[in-house]
Structure 1
Amino acid sequence: MKAKLITQLASACAVLGLDGCTLGPDFHAPSTPLGAHWQQPDASTTRSRAVPGDVDSQWWRSFGDPQLTALLAEAQANNLDLRVAASHVEQSLAARATVSADRLPSIDATGDYSRARGSERGLSDISGNNGKDNYNVWNTGLNLAWEADLWGRVRRSVEAADAKVQVSVEEQHAAMVSIMAQVARDYIELRGTQSSLEVTRKNLDIARHSLDLTRARLAQGVATDLEVAQAAALRASIEARVPALEQQRSVLINALSFLVGRQPGALSAELSPSKAIPAGPANVPVGLPSELAQRRPDIRRAEADLHAATAAIGIAKADFYPRISLSGNAGFQAMQLSNLGSWGSHTFAFGPSLSVPIFEGGRLRGQLQLRESAQREAGIAYQRTVLAAWHEVDNALSGYQADQRRHQSLELAVTESQRALASAQQQYAQGSVDFLNVLTVQNALLANQAALVHSTADVSLTLVTLYQALGGGWQQPAQAALAGDGRQR
C-alpha cells in the first residue's frame, strides 16, 4: 500500500512538472566585437616576433629550461593558493547539488515512541482512558514533500548554481595562470640576479687588477696617490654591490620555495648554481583576437557572473506566482508495539497546498528590480573585463617589442665599452693617459653590462606577461575535464 501510494505521488509530481514554464530571460553569451580593432605591432626588426597561431597552454616549455618546467609542475601540484581554489570549486559543486535536490521529491522515514497520559478534564484522550491511565504511542512511516516547479523557479536556481560553479572553475583557472606566471617571473629574476652577480664579480676582478697596477706605477714614481685612491674607491664601490645581490638571490629562492609549497631555503641547493637567463622562442603564437574570450579566465568568469545574474531574474519573477506543493505521508500508529505493522494500524494523508502572494509591501518588486540591476551591472563588468583584456594584450605586445629593441642596443653598447676599456688600460699602462680615463670607461662598462643583464631578463619577463595576458597556462586536460564537469552537473 505504501509503495503504491508513493509511486502515485511521484507520478503526479512528474506530470505537473512537465506542464511548467520558465520565467525570466534566457542567457545568451555576449559578443566581443573589439577583436576587429586589434592590430599586432610590427616585429620585423626584432629577434622574436608575435605571429598568429594557437597559444601553447604550456608556454613555459618554449623557454627550453627543464628546471623552470620542473618548478612549474611542482607549483601546480603543491601551491597552497591553487589548493584553496580547488576547494572553492568543490564547495560550489556541493552548493549546486543542494539546489538541484529541490527538483525531486523529498522522502523521509520517521519513527517515534512516547509514553503519555491525557487530561481527565481536557480534550478527548486518544487512549480512551479519559485521562485515568498512562498509555504508549508508537508511530512509523514515510513522509513525502515536493514543490511543483510550475514557473521555473527551481530550474532557474539550478541554472544560476551551474553558472556559479563555472565562476569558481574560472577563478581556479585564473589562479593557475597567475601562479604559473609568478613562478616564471621569480625564476627569471633569480637568473638575472645571478648574472648581475657574475658581471659584478668580473668587474671587481678588473678593478682589483687596476688597483694593483696603479700601486705598482706609484712605486715606480709614474702614478700619484690620487690615482691609487681612485682605483681603491672603484674597487670598494663594486664590492659594495655584491651583498645586496646575494641577499636578493636568497629572497628570490625563498619566494620560489613558497610558491611550490616548501619551507624557506628548501630550493637553495638546486637553484644556487648560476644558469643563463631563459630566452623565449623566435616566434610567439598569440592566436586570433576572437579567441581571447575563450582563453582568458577573467573574461570567462565575467560571462559566468552575467549568466548567474540573468538566471536570478527568473527566480525573482517566479516569486510573484503561486506555489503549489504536494505532501503526503503513510505509516502505522499503534498503542502496542505488537500491533505496529498490522493493517488496522495503517495511516495515510495526501493533498496539495497552495501559496499565493497577495501583499508583500513591495518586497517582491524590489527584489526583482535588484536582480535586474545586478544583471545590468554584470553586463557592464563583462564589457569592462573584455576591454581591459585587449589593453593588456596590446600593452604586452608593444612592451615585448620595445624591450627587444632596447636589448639589441645594449648589446652593442657593451661590446663597444669592452673595446674602450681594453684600449684605456693599454694606454694607461703605457703612460699616455691618466687613471681617470680608465675609471670613466670601466664605470661605463659596468653600467652597460648591468643594464644588459636587466634588459635580457626584462625581455623574458615581458614575454611571460604577454602569455599571461593571452590567457595561457591553465587549459590542462585535467582542468578541462573539471570545467566540463562543472557545466554538466
Structure 2
Amino acid sequence: MQSKFPDFFLRPMALVLPVVLTLSACSVGPDYQAPAPLSASHFNALASDTGSTPQASAINPQWWKTFNDPQLDNLISRAIAGNLSLQQAVMRIAASRQQVNQARGAWFPGASGNLQVTRQQPGLKGELESNGVYDQVEQNAPQYRSTLDSLTKPVNLYQGSFDASWELDLWGKVRRQVEMAQAQQQQNIENRNDALVSLEAEVARTYLQLRGAQAITRTIETQIEVARQTLALTQSLQRNGLSPLTDVENARAQLGSLQAQLPQYQSQVRQAMNGLAVLLGNMPGMLDAELASDKALPALPAHVAVGIPATLARRRPDVRAAEARLHAATANIGVSVAQMFPDLSLSGQFGVRNTDASYLDNWSSHFYSFGPAVSLPLFQGGRLVSSVRLARADQAAAALGYRQTVLTALQDVENALVSYHADQQRVAGLSDTVAAQQSAFELARDSYSKGLSNFIGVLDAQRQLAQTRQQLVSARMQTSVDLVALYKALGGGWEPYQHVQLPEFPLFGAAVRG
C-alpha cells in the first residue's frame, strides 16, 4: 500500500520555498559598526627630563620583566596559574560559550520520539443513545447490538510517533541572537583579560610594597643603631660631668621614638606577604619563608614604552569589553525588531496507532501530519514596540559607556604619567636632602662631642635625617608603584596568555565542591 503526498499541497510549497529561502538571508535591525579610532598622536604628560623616561614606542606585553627581578617574574607566573578570581573569569567564558551554542541551536529543527499506552473510554455510548442509535438497532438489526456494545467499551490505545518542528529564521532573529551571544562571549573574554592585567599589577604592587616596607624597616633599624650610639655618647659625657642628665633622657626618648615606629612597618611586611599568598591562591603565611629575606627595591628602567593613544583603545581590555558590550546591544535591537514580524514554522508528525499492539507494524496503522504555520503578532498591547525602544535605549547607553571608558582610560594614563614624573622629581630632591642632612648630623654630633654646641642641635639633626631617610625610601617605593599603575593604565600584560583551556563539564555526576 502506497501513500502519496497530495499535489494540491506540493505545488504551493514549490512556490513558497524560493520566497522563504530569499527571506532567510536577511536580518532586520542595524548592523554593528566599530567606533572610530582615537586621533591623538601622543600623551600630553609624556615629556620627562629626569630619571626613567616614558617614550612613545610599543609597550612590552610582559612589562614586569622591565624591573629585572626574577622573583617578581616567578610570583606573577604562579599567580596567573593559581589565582582563584582569574579562574572564576575563565568559568564565565566557558558559560558564555555554551550560551553561544544554545543560540545556534535555534537554527536547526527539533525532533522528538514518543511512545504512549493509554486506557481510554471515548464516551461513545452516550452519543449513540442520545441520537437514538440503540433504538434503531433494536428495531431493525438486533443482531448487531453486541457489536455496538463492544465499540463503546474502554480500549487500550498503543501509539508511537516522531515529531519534528523547525522555525525558519526569516528575519534574522536567530542570527542576531547568535551575534549577541558571541559579543557577550567576547565581553567575558575581555573581562578575563582585564582581571589578568589587574592581577599582574596587584602582584607587582604588593611585591614592591613588601620590598619598600622591608627597606624602611632597615632604614629605621640603622637609625636606631645610630640613636644607641648617640645615647652611649651622652651617657659617657654625663658621667664625666660634661653633659647634663637631660641630654641623656632626650637621647633615650629619641631612641624610643624610633623603636616605636618599627612595629608599624614590620606589620606591613607581614600583611604584604599574606596578600601575595592569597593572590597566588595559597593560604596566608605560605610564602613567609620565601619572602622573609630582605631584598632591595628593583631599579626603574631607563626608558618606559607607553605607545600612543590611538592604540590604547585596542589594547586596554576594559575598552575592548565596552566595545563588545556595544556590539551585543546593537545585535539585540535586531532581535527585538524581528519579534514584530510574522514567524513561519514547519512541523510534522509521523507514527503508528492501534488498539492492538501486535498490529502496529502494519502499514495501515500509520498516521501523519505536516505543514507550515504562520504566527502574526497582531496586538501585544505595545509590548513589542516598547521592547524595540528599550533595546535602542540600551544600545545608546552602551555607546556612551564606551566613550566614557575610553576617556577614563586616557585619564588613567595621563594621571599615571604625571604621578610617575612628579615622584621621580621628589626622589631626586629627597636624595639631595638626605645627603645634606647626613652631613649636618655628623657635624652637629662632632661639635657636641667636643663641647662646642648643645645637644638640641644633635637631636634635631638626627630626627630630620631619620624622617627624610624614611621619606626617601617611601618615595622610591611610590615611584615603583606609580610605574606599575602606568603599565596597568596602558592595559598591557594579557596578550601572551590568550590560550586558555576551557573546562568540559560532565552532563551527570556530582557538582564541584567549594
**So what's the TM-score if we normalise by structure 2?**
0.87
Q: Choose the corresponding residue for 1:473, options 493, 498, 505.
A: 493
Distance 2:298 2:185 in 1: 37
- Aligned match of 1:50: 54
- Aligned match of 1:182: 202
Distance 2:189 2:385 in 1: 33
CA contact (8 A) 1:330 1:348 kept: yes
CA contact (8 A) 2:20 2:170 kept: yes
CA contact (8 A) 1:117 1:131 kept: no
CA separation of 1:275 and 1:108: change in aligned 2, threshold 3 A: same
**Unaligned stretches of 5+ in structure 2?**
129-146, 503-514
- Match runs of 1:394-433 below 5 Å: 394-433=414-453
Q: Does structure 1 residue 140 correspond to structure 2 residue 145?
A: no
Q: Choose the corresponding residue for 2:96, options 64, 75, 92.
A: 92
CA contact (8 A) 1:217 1:223 kept: yes
What SS does the aligned partner of 2:114 have?
strand
TM-superposed deviation, 1:139? 2.3
Q: Choose the corresponding residue for 2:369, options 321, 346, 349.
A: 349
Q: Choose the corresponding residue for 2:30, options 22, 25, 49.
A: 25
- Aligned match of 2:81: 77
CA contact (8 A) 2:351 2:366 kept: yes
RMSD: 2.4
Distance 1:129 1:461 in 2: 95
**Unaligned stretches of 5+ in structure 1?**
483-489
TM-superposed deviation, 1:480? 8.0
CA contact (8 A) 1:258 1:264 kept: yes
CA contact (8 A) 2:46 2:55 kept: no
Which range moved further: 198-207 or 50-59?
A: 50-59
- The structure having more radius of gyration, on CA atoms, is 2
Distance 1:14 1:173 in 2: 46
Distance 2:203 2:38 in 1: 33
What SS does the aligned partner of 1:433 have?
coil
Distance 2:381 2:31 in 1: 28
Distance 2:366 2:419 in 1: 80
TM-superposed deviation, 1:118? 3.4
Distance 1:475 1:129 in 2: 82
Distance 1:241 1:37 in 2: 44
- Aligned match of 1:363: 383
CA separation of 1:112 and 1:222: change in aligned 2, threshold 3 A: same
- Match runs of 1:445-464 below 5 Å: 445-464=465-484
CA separation of 1:412 and 1:357: change in aligned 2, threshold 3 A: same
Which range moved further: 453-462 or 407-416?
A: 407-416
CA separation of 1:480 and 1:470: change in aligned 2, threshold 3 A: farther
What SS does the aligned partner of 1:406 have?
helix
CA contact (8 A) 1:17 1:148 kept: no
- Match runs of 1:277-316 below 5 Å: 277-316=297-336
Identity %: 37
CA separation of 1:390 and 1:235: change in aligned 2, threshold 3 A: same
Q: Choose the corresponding residue for 2:189, options 169, 177, 191.
A: 169
- Match runs of 1:233-252 below 5 Å: 233-252=253-272
CA contact (8 A) 2:220 2:466 kept: yes
AA at the equivalent of 1:451: Q
Distance 1:101 1:149 in 2: 12
Q: Kindly provide the CA deviation profile for residues 17-41 of structure 1, in whole angstroms up to 9, marking residues without a partner as x.
A: 4532111111010113352473342
- Aligned match of 1:215: 235
Distance 2:441 2:61 in 1: 46
CA contact (8 A) 2:42 2:309 kept: no
CA contact (8 A) 2:237 2:243 kept: yes
Q: Does structure 1 residue 444 correspond to structure 2 residue 447?
A: no
What SS does the aligned partner of 1:121 have?
helix
CA separation of 1:246 and 1:285: change in aligned 2, threshold 3 A: same
- Match runs of 1:100-179 below 5 Å: 100-121=104-125, 132-179=152-199
Q: Kindly provide the CA deviation profile for residues 229-283 of structure 1, in whole angstroms up to 9, marking residues without a partner as x.
A: 1100000000001111111111111111111111111111111111111233111
CA contact (8 A) 2:350 2:368 kept: yes
Aligned length: 473
Q: Kindly provide the CA deviation profile for residues 325-367 of structure 1, in whole angstroms up to 9, marking residues without a partner as x.
A: 1111222223333333332222221111111111112111111
Q: Kindly provide the CA deviation profile for residues 384-436 of structure 1, in whole angstroms up to 9, marking residues without a partner as x.
A: 11111111111111211111111111111112222222222222221112211
TM-superposed deviation, 1:194? 0.4
Q: Does structure 1 residue 258 correspond to structure 2 residue 275?
A: no
